[in-house]
Structure 1
Amino acid sequence: MHPPQWLQSFTALAHTGSFTRAAERLGLTQAAVSQHVRQLEDRLGPLLIRRPRAIELTPAGTALLQYCAEIEEADRRLAVRIADEEACCGDVGLVTPGSLGLFLYPLLLDFQLAHPGLAIRHRFAPDRETLAQVLDKRYDLGIVALKPDDARLAATPFAEEALELVVPAASEVRGWQDLQALGFIDHPEGHAMATRLLSRAFPGNPGIATVPARGFSNQVGLLLEPVARGLGFTVIPTHARRVFARPDAIRVIDMATPVVDTLWLIHRAEWPLPARARRVADYLHEHISKRTIR
């Protein structure tokens, strides 16, 4: 690697055709410019032919000038990338819970259509995996249900989301016995969510483990299909219910004491969030805040 000041002196000399003008452009002495060029020639061989009133580049000098131009262009691209002036170009990675992700993904596609220079990567993941993906710099942004206790992560409130008791459209739920008669459609976080919500709605209940299991799915987009067909009830976040294609086949039971979680937007705290990632986050936050979460 050649010292940048040597290359700057050579480039200025090649462009001005004069040691004097090159020195004036760079704010150096003529002797300094001459020394830089000689040091390059000691490494690379003759770079220019010195004439009384002009200089002429040798083939090696022409190749070096092209190399200097490539270095300048690479520096410019790096500066743009670091400064993130291209807020609507480049890659943005986002990791979300499955329920919220189903709701956000069409919004992400709309944003990408409006900004074709962006490439948006979206991944569904539970909190633990989301934290790991953001910490490992594989994704710019993550959304989690629990605020992380990690100094390496910045966390800001993104949205609120309620848990919902969802039953077949024709079902009535007046007490715990009605839930036991329906049966439970489980999912990876089903027991935890059901326990949190039903303990408030039905104080003193014997627990979700006493309700017969009628099915299980780890695909949040399909979870309400057995409920819609009358096979049981489930407890899920609001957004998982909102994206279901057959809302007339299900019913949400109103809760006198709802359970509402704050969802947190996270990113690495040690450096500024890229402008393009900030724009995506602001766009999603704006659109989700316009809609009723509960």
Structure 2
Amino acid sequence: MLNPQWLRSFATLAEQGSFTRAAERLDLTQAAVSQHVQRLEERLGPLLIRRPRQFELTPAGRALIDYCAEVGAADQRLQQRLSEADAEQGEIGLISPGSIGLALYPQLLALQQAHPGLSIRHRFAPDREVLEAVLDNRFELGLVTLKPDDPRLSVSRFAEEPLELVAPAGEPVRDWADLERLGFIDHPDGQAMAGRLLSRRFPGAPGVRSLPCHGFTNQIGLILEPVARGLGFTVIPRYARLAFSRPEAIQVIDGAPPVVDTLWLLHRAEWPLTARAQLLLRRIRRHFSTSEGEAV
């Protein structure tokens, strides 16, 4: 069996791309990291092609990195299984899109206040990154907007979230000309979301790309700030709108037909959820089933 410290040194070296940075990250000397790599190469053959100030992994080196990832995942599964019965101690990892994340975060903080032994790790990420993080065992729970088809995942319906056309408070929005007058506040998913909603609300209109763009931000919590200041309109998911701190400065322009996305909860199917994760899910499912009824 390969020495775990040698594996940690090699994986950190591959991640950092430098013996100096790897040694700093591991709190070791460069000589120690070099020695660990040398010991591995004595067992496995050449792992690195060394060049001035850089190196390249050989095929054996890339295979060893995959092995390191498998060992890390196995270690995490062991830790989860050994501690899964304790619902009030330990870490819970949850990764989600930004809109639902804004609504989730206060609930996660409230749960941690009620159970100080818990450590809740939450990350905002797009669907692709959520899938990768759950499959790689870096997060126990994930939420996505597109239902995945992967036998390694357990997938269940979590909530529904309509897209909303949001304009400055008091601004009349009756037709396409009003949208042209206001201008569009864009965001990373803005063109796609606006295209889906506006094509239904205004059939036959030129489309969102024809509208003047009056701003862009990639921060989910800031998208509605320029709208509140009268700089334009946007299309965002409902939970992002509900989390905005100045609801009096904006308005939702109602209309039909609606565009509603389903949010899917996923976790690895091969092993049971920890008691901590089950505790978290009970709380947030209860909250979102209530808030959905209130928001519609």
Q: CA deviation at 1:82?
A: 3.0
Query: Counterpart amino acid of 2:238?
Result: T
Q: CA deviation at 1:272?
A: 0.9
- What CA deviation, in whole Å up to 9, does each residue of 1:97-154 have, x standing for no partner? 1111111101000001111111100000000000011011000000000101111111
Query: Counterpart amino acid of 1:280?
Result: L
Aligned residues of 1:183 and 1:213 also touching (Cα < 8 A): yes
Query: Counterpart amino acid of 1:206?
Result: P
Change in 2 beyond 3 A, CA 1:80/1:99: closer
Q: CA–CA distance in 2 between the matches of 1:171 and 1:120?
A: 41
Q: CA–CA distance in 1 between the matches of 2:232 and 2:184?
A: 5
Moved more, 270-279 or 100-109: 270-279
Change in 2 beyond 3 A, CA 1:79/1:150: closer
Give the TM-score normalised by the residue count of structure 2.
0.71
Query: Counterpart amino acid of 1:94?
Result: L
Q: CA–CA distance in 2 between the matches of 1:245 and 1:159?
A: 22
Greater C-alpha Rg: 1
CA-atom RMSD in angstroms: 1.4
Aligned to 1:123: 123
Aligned to 2:249: 249
SS, match of residue 88 in structure 1? coil
Q: CA deviation at 1:88?
A: 1.5
Aligned to 2:227: 227
> 1:73-152 maps to which residues of 2 (within 5 A)?
81-82=81-82, 84-152=84-152
Q: CA–CA distance in 1 between the matches of 2:80 and 2:98?
A: 34
Aligned residues of 2:84 and 2:273 also touching (Cα < 8 A): no
Aligned residues of 2:176 and 2:205 also touching (Cα < 8 A): yes
> 1:174-213 maps to which residues of 2 (within 5 A)?
174-213=174-213
Change in 2 beyond 3 A, CA 1:192/1:251: same
% same residue: 62
- What CA deviation, in whole Å up to 9, does each residue of 1:63-90 have, x standing for no partner? xxxxxxxxxxxxxxx7994362211111
Change in 2 beyond 3 A, CA 1:267/1:81: closer
SS, match of residue 150 in structure 1? coil
Q: CA deviation at 1:236?
A: 0.1
Aligned residues of 2:96 and 2:142 also touching (Cα < 8 A): yes
Where does the alignment leave 5 or more consecutive residues of structure 2 unmatched? 1-77
Aligned residues of 1:88 and 1:276 also touching (Cα < 8 A): yes
Report the count of equivalent residues: 217
Q: CA–CA distance in 2 between the matches of 1:86 and 1:152?
A: 25
> 1:153-168 maps to which residues of 2 (within 5 A)?
153-168=153-168
Q: CA–CA distance in 2 between the matches of 1:79 and 1:209?
A: 50
> 1:235-274 maps to which residues of 2 (within 5 A)?
235-274=235-274
Aligned residues of 1:80 and 1:86 also touching (Cα < 8 A): no
Change in 2 beyond 3 A, CA 1:210/1:280: same
Give the TM-score normalised by the residue count of structure 1.
0.72
SS, match of residue 221 in structure 1? helix
Q: CA–CA distance in 2 between the matches of 1:208 and 1:247?
A: 25
Q: CA deviation at 1:95?
A: 0.4
Change in 2 beyond 3 A, CA 1:160/1:195: same
Runs of 4+ in structure 1 displaced over 6 angstroms? Answer: none
Aligned to 2:23: none
Aligned to 1:278: 278
Q: CA–CA distance in 2 between the matches of 1:255 and 1:80?
A: 47
Q: CA–CA distance in 2 between the matches of 1:205 and 1:266?
A: 38
Q: CA–CA distance in 1 between the matches of 2:250 and 2:101?
A: 21
Q: CA–CA distance in 2 between the matches of 1:83 and 1:190?
A: 42
Q: CA deviation at 1:245?
A: 0.9
SS, match of residue 291 in structure 1? helix
Q: CA–CA distance in 2 between the matches of 1:79 and 1:182?
A: 54
